[in-house]
Structure 1
Amino acid sequence: MKLDNTVSAVITGGASGLGAATARALAAKGVKVALFDLQKDKGEAVAAEIGGVFCEVNVTSDESVIAGFEKARAAHGQERILVCCAGTGAAMKTASRSKQDGSIKHYPADAFNWLIQINLVGTFRCVALSAAGMMTLEPQNEDGERGAIVNTASVAGEDGQMGQVAYAASKAGVIGMTLPIARDLMSEGIRVNTILPGIFETPLMLGAPQQVKDALAASVPFPKRLGKPEEYAGLALTMIENSYFNGEDVRLDGAIRMAPR
């Protein structure tokens, strides 16, 4: 796909971290960018910086996502690019025993479902609505390409750690739907790929104690550091620009394989 000022993009989770880095990288190519996020102040600041538009969107709500696409398309036209970075995490064992009094508790199904709704269903909701819009576009090139979608999973989707059952399940779901969606959309010229980030310098990670970040960095085979959001953005742009890149789930992790804990 050719990236220039005739192309528009929507980035979910675009107010910070991986999403903001991708928004900046696309805007640097001339792409018109809309940011979906719940962080209004940060989202508006990034949008002002790149000349984009901010849409306050909750990816767990049909109405909110539809309204976000309507606002983005009113400003920039139908998007050819969707990058889904919106997501969250939580840690809890499936069942556990208290070291203090021996009491036993289990992971509540409602809490499990909350994470699935954000990370998995929220991603699918945005993909389905965006793909339907992309189908109205004229193909951009001789391949008949109409659009490109990049989703965000996690290495936890393949080697989830203790306490990551809901998070790992949600990200495994994103991985699992990559190829079927690519096949669903192949006759419409819409490509779908997924990135599986390892341990990255996201807002959540930056708030951790330095000794924790140092230990995590040391666990990466090479390079021994946390991933940079700009490196995620670089792979996302490769997936978007390379028209033969389709139906793939790609780890971006410095060769790390997560230990049980």
Structure 2
Amino acid sequence: MDLNGKVAIVTGGASGLGQGTVEAYVAKGAKVAIFDLNAERAQAVIDNLGADNVAFWSVNVADEESVKNAVAEVVEKFGALHIVNNFAGIGSAAKTYGKKGVFPIEQWDPVIAINLTGTFNVSRYAAEQMSKNEPINDDGGRGVIINTASVAGYEGQIGQVAYSATKGGVIGMTVPMARDLSSYGIRVNTIVPGLIHTPLFESLPEPAYQSLEASVCYPKRLGKASEIAHLAVFIAENDYLNAECIRLDGAIRMQPR
């Protein structure tokens, strides 16, 4: 896919991995819709990249009507939809059972709703719009959905049971979703990040940060948002890449704690 002139939705696009991907797409000539809840951060991205290139929708990805309406409005504004990146997500820290008792269900539900159901909500309504596109290549391609999992989906640590369940679910959706959408020329792939430097890590004490870096096999550092964005661009551009979950993690394999 030639990204010049294409239209992308990036959930969680106002910061972190999402922001890096928005910037990478705009650099390739794409128009980008940010789905986020942080209007102030989104406006800063727009101010930097230009209102002609980026627009913002306040979207709760766990809310079906919010997603459905916003996706339709993106197509109305930009004329089509070709790419979706699902980055929006939250974490949790609680054991299935421990000194504090059983895992509180009120902590479980929102993680499932945002990380798993939210990813599916955006993907299904995006697929509906992509299916209406005229083919953009000789293969009959119409679009690509790029979801985001985590190495926790394979090697969840102690206290990550809810988060790991959602990321394992995203990994598990990849092949059947790609098969579901193959007749429409819509590809589906999943990025599986390891430890990526985001603003969250800046609050860590230096010894803790260095310990995280040391846990990576090679290179001995946290990944960069720009490296995730580079992978997203590659996935979007390579029309033969489909139904894959790609780890970008410096060969880390997470330990129990």
Shorter-normalised TM-score: what interval?
A: over 0.9
* Map of 1:80 onto structure 2: 82
Using the TM superposition, give the Cα deviation of residue 63 of structure 1 relative to its aligned residue in structure 2, in angstroms.
1.7
Using the TM superposition, give the Cα deviation of residue 76 of structure 1 relative to its aligned residue in structure 2, in angstroms.
1.2
Task: Give secondary structure in 2 for the equivalent of 1:144.
Answer: coil
Distance (Å, rounded) in 2 between the aligned partners of 1:240 and 1:57: 23
Structure 2: which amino acid aligns with 1:164?
Answer: Q
Distance (Å, rounded) in 2 between the aligned partners of 1:202 and 1:87: 13
CA-to-aligned-CA distance 1:162-183 (integer Å, 9 cap, x gap): 0000000000000000000000
Check the 8 A contact 1:34/1:47 in 2, yes or no.
no
Check the 8 A contact 2:20/2:229 in 1, yes or no.
yes
Check the 8 A contact 2:149/2:170 in 1, yes or no.
yes
Structure 2: which amino acid aligns with 1:169?
Answer: A
Moved over 6 A (4+): none
* Map of 2:21 onto structure 1: 22
Map 1:66-105; keep pairs closer than 5 Å.
66-97=68-99, 104-105=100-101
Task: Give secondary structure in 1 for the equivalent of 2:216.
Answer: coil
Distance (Å, rounded) in 2 between the aligned partners of 1:194 and 1:121: 15
2:197 matches 1:201: yes
Unaligned runs of 5+ in 2: none
Using the TM superposition, give the Cα deviation of residue 85 of structure 1 relative to its aligned residue in structure 2, in angstroms.
0.5
2:240 matches 1:241: no
Task: Give secondary structure in 1 for the equivalent of 2:89.
Answer: coil
* Map of 2:35 onto structure 1: 36
Distance (Å, rounded) in 2 between the aligned partners of 1:46 and 1:136: 29
* Map of 2:170 onto structure 1: 174
Structure 2: which amino acid aligns with 1:161?
Answer: Q
Using the TM superposition, give the Cα deviation of residue 75 of structure 1 relative to its aligned residue in structure 2, in angstroms.
2.1
* Map of 1:183 onto structure 2: 179
Structure 2: which amino acid aligns with 1:10?
Answer: I
Distance (Å, rounded) in 2 between the aligned partners of 1:12 and 1:91: 23
* Map of 1:118 onto structure 2: 114
Check the 8 A contact 1:53/1:75 in 2, yes or no.
no
Identical positions, percent? 50
Unaligned runs of 5+ in 1: 98-103
Q: Calculate the TM-score normalised by the size of structure 2.
A: 0.96
Distance (Å, rounded) in 1 between the aligned partners of 2:71 and 2:181: 19
CA-to-aligned-CA distance 1:133-166 (integer Å, 9 cap, x gap): 0000000010100001100000000000000000
Check the 8 A contact 1:147/1:191 in 2, yes or no.
yes
Higher mean C-alpha deviation, range 107-116 or range 139-148: 107-116
Using the TM superposition, give the Cα deviation of residue 78 of structure 1 relative to its aligned residue in structure 2, in angstroms.
1.8
Task: Give secondary structure in 1 for the equivalent of 2:101.
Answer: strand
Distance (Å, rounded) in 2 between the aligned partners of 1:70 and 1:40: 20
Distance (Å, rounded) in 2 between the aligned partners of 1:144 and 1:85: 27
Check the 8 A contact 2:177/2:188 in 1, yes or no.
yes
Structure 1: which amino acid aligns with 2:64?
Answer: D
* C-alpha RMSD of matched pairs (Å): 1.0
Count of residues in correspondence between the two structures: 254
2:62 matches 1:60: yes
CA-to-aligned-CA distance 1:189-231 (integer Å, 9 cap, x gap): 0000001100011222222222211110011010000100000
Task: Give secondary structure in 2 for the equivalent of 1:213.
Answer: helix
Aligned pair partner of 1:214 in 210, 213, 236: 210
